């Protein structure tokens, strides 16, 4: 369970980092680094606390799968919109430079 939590955390940082820094064409983007820090530092601390105090709750949160079809569609649509926004920003940045 510990390794699964670490792998999901690292993958999350890499995916969000890619979606933020690839469109910016640089990792010298302080807003992106601030966003990643504000998002993932509390997440990491919460994960450590859950691992120590309530491992069953951490296991439940790691295996969270939506059972309602409508909720799955909303989550998929929001992920698609975030991806499209990132791609659009990349091309707008290229066309203005």
Least confident range of 52-61, 66-75, 83-92: 83-92
Question: Distance (Å, rounded) from C-alpha 45 to C-alpha 55?
Answer: 14
Residue-number span of the structural domain to which 30 is assigned: 2-96
Express as a percent the part of the chain with pLDDT over 90.
25
User: In this structure, are residues 72 and 66 in contact, taking their beta carbons and an 8 Å threshold?
Assistant: yes
Look-up: residue for tokens 């859950």? 50
Determine if residue 48 is left, alpha or beta; phi over 0 gives left, psi from -120 to 50 gives alpha, anything else beta. Answer: alpha
**Domain tally for the chain?**
1
Say if residue 64's pLDDT is above 90.
no
Indicate the burial class of 14 (C-beta count within 10 angstroms; 0-12, 13-18, 19 or more): exposed
Question: Distance (Å, rounded) from C-alpha 93 to C-alpha 1?
Answer: 41
Residue 92: the pLDDT is 63
From residue 85, give the alpha-carbon distance in Å to each of 14, 27, 53, 54, 94.
18, 18, 38, 37, 14
Residue 49: the pLDDT is 92
Kindly report, residue by residue over 17-48, the tens digit of the pLDDT: 988 888 777 888 888 899 999 999 999 999 89
pTM of the shown model: 0.66
């Amino acid at each position: 369970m510990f390794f699964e939590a670490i792998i999901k955390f690292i993958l999350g940082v890499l995916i969000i980092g890619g979606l933020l820094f690839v469109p910016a064409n640089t990792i010298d983007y302080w807003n992106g680094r601030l966003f990643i820090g504000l998002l993932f530092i509390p997440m990491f601390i919460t994960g450590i606390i859950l691992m120590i105090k309530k491992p069953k709750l951490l296991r439940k949160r790691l295996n969270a799968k939506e059972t309602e079809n409508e909720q799955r569609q909303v989550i998929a649509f929001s992920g698609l919109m975030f991806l499209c926004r990132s791609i659009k920003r990349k091309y707008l940045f290229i066309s203005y430079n």
